[in-house]
Amino acid sequence: MKLGRPERIAAEGRRPDLNHITIPPTRHVRPLPPLPPSSYSPPVKVDMPLSEYEKNVRTHALLVGIAFLVILPIGALVPRYLRTFTNRSVYSWTLTREMTN
């Protein structure tokens, strides 16, 4: 079985000569034509009042965001920090509970 050039070089354990590799030129891609100015319209601002359900959803999202981004890390980090000063972690848990209530 006769091996081709890359296979023969790999079989001999030599590094391939990269001087013979040619890269084909890239194709020229034409840019898209610009949109006509008349097709652009600025966004329309619609000022509609929120329904009661949407107000509840917005309030719920705000409270959940505060709970997970502020209160939860405080509840986890403060007791760990206070545990270094006392062996009684009950005090740190109580302090954290009182801060978040």
Domain ranges of the chain: 70-101
Looking at residue 17, its pLDDT comes to 60
- Lowest-confidence pick of 2-11, 26-35, 47-56: 2-11
Average pLDDT over residues 40-68: 88
Distances (CA, A) of 76 to 7, 36, 43, 73: 60, 57, 45, 5
pTM confidence score: 0.41
Looking at residue 65, its pLDDT comes to 95
Share of the chain above pLDDT 70, in %: 57
Q: Which of 32, 73, 26, 34 is nearest to 81 (CA)?
A: 73
